[in-house]
Structure 1
Amino acid sequence: MVCVCNATYCDTLDPVVLPAPGTFVKYESSKAGKRLERSEGSFQRSLRAPDLVLTVDTTQRYQKIKGFGGSVTDSAAINILSLPEKAQDHLLRSYFSEEGLEYNLVRIPMASCDFSLHAYTYDDVPYDYELTHFSLRDEDTKLKIPILHRASAMAKRPLSLYASPWTSPAWMKTSESFIGKGTLKGQAGDKYHKTWANYFVRFLDEYAKHNLTFWAVTAENEPSAGLINNYPFQCLGFTAEQQRDFIARDLGPALANSSHRHVQLIILDDNRLHLPHWAKVVLEDEQAARYVHGIGIHWYLDFIGPIQDTVVPTHELFPDYFILATEACIGAHFWERDVILGCWERGNQYSHSILTNLNHFVAGWTDWNLALDLEGGPNWVKNYVDSPVIVDSSEGVFYKQPMFYHMGHFSKFIPEGSQRVGLVASKESKKTDLEYSAFVRPDGAVVVVVLNRSLQNVTFGLADTGRPHRGRGSGQLHPDLPVAAAVTGLRCPWLARGWTEAVGLQPHTAHALRPGRCGRGGAVLCPVAEASTRVRWDPERCARAGGSGTPKAGILQAAECWCCCSNIKC
């Protein structure tokens, strides 16, 4: 099933509104046809717990989230601009606006890649070591840059742009060619390496003239590709040692001494099976490591590079460097069909990959082309693949595929600055086909994403007590997750921060409150109780805060400092 959009119609999503205290909002997509369908409900205290209960533990904190997005290649821009102007707007809004998925990451190839109409760089004049002939191409000024400006204008969240080069000019390479096996001529510190480093700076300079600044650059797209004989499209080979030396002696200093010193540098940008070796070679060198901020990974060989053997040890060795999934698409392998319109399983593959990465310290996930045509191109070497959005320019329409909606379960609800938190399955059902992850947003709301790829419906409970081993006082929802479905849930901010209640008091008259305003409905400041596993009742302080009365029997099981004020309506 696909959703069809044209110049006059396109499905939209409402901006996210946080639920009231004690309630949740659920967004569900399913093979049966639901597409981020919204529903609301209340956490209940009297339901019999199902066999599987997922308990949010906000005291367990993991990596911060950078975000989610896709890539503006030449081909993506060509396809978007092939539509009528209003349909173009619908497509871009679908990705970037509050009415859509709210992408915040955008990857841009530095010059051409395979998803271009031809191979080119920004300075193909031989031996121009001063880069006097460096200039952006029509693909930048007429395609990618206008798209980026329009996307930025539609987005409420700031966009983080990052750029990746596929190849240097051929005259800098040992192969004298854009394709095939080849590295930079010479060695780190020489004129070829200095010129290539300055090429990055010139790229950033030229885009800045168009009022576009970058969050990051990667040192090279898939540096291992340029070490393969007869590689079919643009590439530039580096070993880990060569990348280390290039960064330490050339690229790092060039960026640091430019007006773009704030731009972050990402190493690897290749399949994760190169980890942890690649990171150890580069980051154990002090001269290189001081210029590096993160590590980029691709998904194409995940089946021979388990995440526990690659990403996890890398994070353990280098916890101060973020890990970002920088490219993924389906259809790249010879055994995969290029475009399959409406394929739900491909959406499942996206969600499975994203959840696996997020649950193992990865800070975000970037899709490949934002849009392709019905063939999966254009691609100058016919390396066709699938995309979340497929454009049929002859009909003036585009199709939103299941992959698009699966991306939305993450990008729309887990903004930059969110943090992964604990989500523990009940002991009764440690073995489950569900995949899941939980996050606290910057606004304090908790987001839980659950994926069911099994062949049967799964009923589960979701509890949030702040202390997963103490269920008393928790609220639960008991959704039924259909076969082949993904669901994202939001909880209100202060309840999501480990809320607990005095046993015997009703939720609407007594709460364990975090210091601050009482939910949305009032402006009562609750005083801070003593830091203890038991929260002391202080009637004088509560009276000053606007509460009255005395508590009934029970213990507040608090993870932090709380107080209980009765008769405060939230």
Structure 2
Amino acid sequence: MEALHGSRHGLITACLFAVAASFLAEATLDVWVTNSNGGDRLSQKSSLSPTGSSNGFHISVNRNKRYQYITGFGAALTNAAAYNLYHSPQRDQTMQDLFGKSGISMSYLRLPMGGTDFQGVQPYTYDDLPSWQHNDFHMDHFTIQKDQDFIIPIIKQALTINPSLRIIATPWTAPAWMKTTNSLFGGEFHNGNNYQQAYAQYLVKFIQEYQKAGIEIDAICLQNEPKHSDNAYPTMKLSWETERDIIKNYLGPAFNQHSINTKIIIYDHNWDDTSYAGDILADSGAAQYISGSAWHCYGGRHDTCGGFHNQHPDKDIYFTECSGGDWAPGFNIVWGMRILSIGQTRNWAKTVMYWNLALDDHHGPKVGVGGCNNCNGVITIHGDGGTTKNAEYYIIGHMSKFVYPEAVRLDTPAYGWDDVHSAAFQNNDGSIAVVVLNPRNDRDQSFYIDIDGHHYQYTLPRESVATFVYRS
């Protein structure tokens, strides 16, 4: 009996040790790091095991305090970007780097509807007319045929790689015949009920034709940067009153009539003006059709969207454009992480998107000298087909690779401007991704990540970002 008792005691002890070891193994924290001054580029480091707690920065992840759901992270598939990708001799590998699990799994694309300043071919819209024809109110000449050359093939390849990929579409200009200048370059929308109705029909047909091509449009904006006009490339001014009236009187009702589920997003311009979107949302007739507002980084404070959300908590926030460029030389990830990837999600953004997805060695191809002449793409595609992954690739990747569509943002503390910055997200599979930035250029920073009663200590090098993944 004594031997049997000892054997049973040993078995129980072994089982307890096995359970404890299993628990500790499950409670480890995986780590990926990128830094501005060293060689780490989304480099996986040794996993962390729980440790004791101590004084210092604590990034406490609160599962019970939840904010917005995430739709995705990515960049714009401009005509130039699609042209560069389509003609690259290393296209398949580059597409995997951008959309595949072995790359950064981008989950959201911004699709310009027709021409911008970044073009592989001459700018166009989907209803361009010969000079002798003055209007096409019934959209008899509407076609997306030019998108079939290389834009649609690239989108379809991206969707094959990542079926969760979603698309927001935005025009830089209406067809020339809808404008006061009768030109794609600059000018204003030609106001009047017949033009407003035609523009709504134009947007509806775009969604329908893309759907026929096998591509769903998740959301649509009426106009990119509607307060801006430039005679050097496709642009158009669209007043908030006109945008409101198009949505209220034509676009919203047309979506209902045709059972279109695409979301209507307003504004799509800089942080420095909240009145444009606010005035539209003040009209209940328009607001009933609107899902949210979109924002750019080229003016105003980066925390603007947080205040705007507090005024309109039932409407979503989309961050849709910011560009890297030669004005920020070197491989610097701090601004993009602090202001965009972390900063915008902490201010209620469902998406964070850069401008051009892929440009060539000459920051193009471009239309003339208008627009941005020294913008960088998320990647640069060189003449031989090789690529350079720019800082923006990693700024996006530290989110998109680990934070999946429909993840929910969890609460983490806010510290000072030069202290650690963080954002945390819970995925549908239960995993939690915590993104942490050390913005300081003079020293490393140590901190603790607290999840489910576990404490994980880490020291992050200066000007570095880390994504930690926890699976309980």
Normalised to the residue count of structure 2, the TM-score between the two structures is: 0.88
Tell me how far apart the structure 2 counterparts of residues 115 and 137 of structure 1 sit (CA, whole Å): 19
Tell me how far apart the structure 2 counterparts of residues 141 and 45 of structure 1 sit (CA, whole Å): 56
Tell me how far apart the structure 2 counterparts of residues 40 and 250 of structure 1 sit (CA, whole Å): 56
Match of 1:391 in 2: 381
> Once the 2 structures are TM-superposed, how far is the Cα of residue 180 of structure 1 from its aligned partner?
2.3
* Contact map agreement 2:61 2:450 (CA 8 A) in 1: yes
Amino acid paired to 1:369: N
SS in 2 for 1:478: strand
Tell me how far apart the structure 1 counterparts of residues 149 and 124 of structure 2 sit (CA, whole Å): 16
Amino acid paired to 1:243: E
SS in 1 for 2:150: helix
Please tell me whether residue 186 in structure 1 is matched to residue 181 in structure 2.
no
Amino acid paired to 1:453: P
> Once the 2 structures are TM-superposed, how far is the Cα of residue 103 of structure 1 from its aligned partner?
1.0
Tell me how far apart the structure 1 counterparts of residues 342 and 203 of structure 2 sit (CA, whole Å): 33
Task: Among all aligned residue pairs of Structure 1 and Structure 2, give the percentage whose two residues are the same amino acid.
Answer: 29
Please tell me whether residue 163 in structure 1 is matched to residue 149 in structure 2.
no
2:209 to 206, 211, 226: 206
Please tell me whether residue 136 in structure 1 is matched to residue 144 in structure 2.
yes
* Contact map agreement 1:23 1:40 (CA 8 A) in 2: no
Amino acid paired to 2:126: Y
Match of 1:35 in 2: 41
Tell me how far apart the structure 2 counterparts of residues 321 and 20 of structure 1 sit (CA, whole Å): 41
1:109 to 107, 112, 126: 112
Match of 1:521 in 2: none
Q: Alpha carbons of 1:318 and 1:148: their partners in 2 closer, same or farther (altered >3 Å)?
A: same
* Contact map agreement 2:293 2:317 (CA 8 A) in 1: yes
Match of 2:19 in 1: none
SS in 2 for 1:464: strand
SS in 1 for 2:354: strand
Please tell me whether residue 447 in structure 1 is matched to residue 441 in structure 2.
no
Please tell me whether residue 486 in structure 1 is matched to residue 465 in structure 2.
yes
Please tell me whether residue 459 in structure 1 is matched to residue 445 in structure 2.
yes
Show CA shifts across 1:399-419 (max 9, x none).
112221221101111111111
Tell me how far apart the structure 1 counterparts of residues 356 and 418 of structure 2 sit (CA, whole Å): 33
Q: Alpha carbons of 1:445 and 1:294: their partners in 2 closer, same or farther (altered >3 Å)?
A: same
Tell me how far apart the structure 2 counterparts of residues 491 and 376 of structure 1 sit (CA, whole Å): 39
Show CA shifts across 1:399-449 (max 9, x none).
112221221101111111111112126xxx867522211122222222111
Runs of 4+ in 1 over 4 A off after TM superposition: 429-432
Higher relative contact order (CA 8 A, sep 6+): 2
Tell me how far apart the structure 2 counterparts of residues 147 and 449 of structure 1 sit (CA, whole Å): 30
Tell me how far apart the structure 2 counterparts of residues 265 and 459 of structure 1 sit (CA, whole Å): 42
How do 1:267-282 residues align onto structure 2 when only pairs under 5 Å count? 267-275=266-274, 277-282=275-280
* Contact map agreement 1:49 1:461 (CA 8 A) in 2: no
Tell me how far apart the structure 2 counterparts of residues 460 and 431 of structure 1 sit (CA, whole Å): 16
Normalised to the residue count of structure 1, the TM-score between the two structures is: 0.74
1:52 to 37, 52, 57: 57
* Contact map agreement 1:299 1:327 (CA 8 A) in 2: yes
SS in 2 for 1:114: coil
Tell me how far apart the structure 2 counterparts of residues 449 and 373 of structure 1 sit (CA, whole Å): 30
* Contact map agreement 1:413 1:447 (CA 8 A) in 2: yes
> Once the 2 structures are TM-superposed, how far is the Cα of residue 50 of structure 1 from its aligned partner?
4.5
Amino acid paired to 1:148: I
2:285 to 266, 284, 287: 287
Q: Alpha carbons of 1:317 and 1:337: their partners in 2 closer, same or farther (altered >3 Å)?
A: closer
- Bigger-Rg structure (1/2): 1
Tell me how far apart the structure 1 counterparts of residues 416 and 142 of structure 2 sit (CA, whole Å): 58
More helix by share: 2
Tell me how far apart the structure 2 counterparts of residues 422 and 45 of structure 1 sit (CA, whole Å): 22
Match of 2:15 in 1: none
* Contact map agreement 2:449 2:457 (CA 8 A) in 1: no
Match of 2:301 in 1: 306
> Once the 2 structures are TM-superposed, how far is the Cα of residue 66 of structure 1 from its aligned partner?
1.2
Q: Alpha carbons of 1:59 and 1:458: their partners in 2 closer, same or farther (altered >3 Å)?
A: farther
Amino acid paired to 2:34: S
Q: Alpha carbons of 1:431 and 1:313: their partners in 2 closer, same or farther (altered >3 Å)?
A: closer
1:61 to 60, 66, 69: 66
Show CA shifts across 1:257-290 (max 9, x none).
224x211110001112121x12321112111011
Amino acid paired to 1:153: T
SS in 1 for 2:61: strand
* CA RMSD, Structure 1 to Structure 2 (Å): 1.9
Show CA shifts across 1:121-147 (max 9, x none).
111223111111111243x10110000
> Once the 2 structures are TM-superposed, how far is the Cα of residue 337 of structure 1 from its aligned partner?
4.1
1:371 to 358, 362, 372: 358
How do 1:395-414 residues align onto structure 2 when only pairs under 5 Å count? 395-414=384-403
Match of 1:14 in 2: none
Tell me how far apart the structure 2 counterparts of residues 235 and 257 of structure 1 sit (CA, whole Å): 30
> Once the 2 structures are TM-superposed, how far is the Cα of residue 201 of structure 1 from its aligned partner?
1.3
Match of 1:356 in 2: 343
Tell me how far apart the structure 2 counterparts of residues 36 and 274 of structure 1 sit (CA, whole Å): 36
Tell me how far apart the structure 2 counterparts of residues 374 and 481 of structure 1 sit (CA, whole Å): 33
Aligned pair count reads: 439
Amino acid paired to 2:137: Y
Please tell me whether residue 416 in structure 1 is matched to residue 425 in structure 2.
no
Amino acid paired to 2:377: S
> Once the 2 structures are TM-superposed, how far is the Cα of residue 349 of structure 1 from its aligned partner?
2.5
* Contact map agreement 1:63 1:420 (CA 8 A) in 2: yes
Query: Which of 32-41 and 216-225 deviates more?
Result: 32-41
Match of 2:249 in 1: 249
Q: Alpha carbons of 1:75 and 1:20: their partners in 2 closer, same or farther (altered >3 Å)?
A: farther
Amino acid paired to 1:407: I
SS in 1 for 2:396: helix
Show CA shifts across 1:525-556 (max 9, x none).
xxxxxxxxxxxxxxxxxxxxxxxxxxxxxxxx
Match of 2:85 in 1: 80
Q: Alpha carbons of 1:193 and 1:59: their partners in 2 closer, same or farther (altered >3 Å)?
A: same
Amino acid paired to 2:179: K
Tell me how far apart the structure 1 counterparts of residues 428 and 366 of structure 2 sit (CA, whole Å): 40
Tell me how far apart the structure 1 counterparts of residues 245 and 342 of structure 2 sit (CA, whole Å): 34
* Contact map agreement 1:225 1:231 (CA 8 A) in 2: no
